[in-house]
Amino acid sequence: MKTFFDGVFISKKHLEEAGINYPIKLEYYKTSGEENVKKYGIEVVKTEYLDGNVKIETKEVKDVFANKEEQEKVLTILRNNEVTPIGVEDVLHDLLQV
């Protein structure tokens, strides 16, 4: 199951620093399953709006959290730092290291 958590547009400052002159929206979703002890995951969706075309990139990471509180805490960090689908696995690896 997938539930919308939050969405943001990448800040104009960050886009300009990267040489990008079109808007990019990021959406963050909570996902859940029933099979594992760690049954909560996340999905990040990046939507680029350039020259009348829409390009969508997604990345889902399943079964990483044992509870909803941890899932929401990490989603908040991802949103606040404008993490895109391509970087989500590396960021999760760094955040969840013991």
Domain spans of the chain, in order of start: 2-96
Greater confidence (93 vs 98) lies with: 93
Entry pTM: 0.90
- pLDDT of 61 above 70: yes
pLDDT at position 68 over 50: yes
Alpha carbons within 13 A on the beta-carbon side of 22: 10
Segment 20-39, tens digit of pLDDT: 999 999 999 999 977 667 78
Q: What is the mean pLDDT of residues 89-98?
A: 87
**Where is pLDDT greater, at 9 or 1?**
9
β partners of residue 8? 26
Taking the C-alpha atoms of residue 76 and residue 86, their distance in angstroms, rounded to an integer, is: 17
78 has a pLDDT exceeding 70: yes
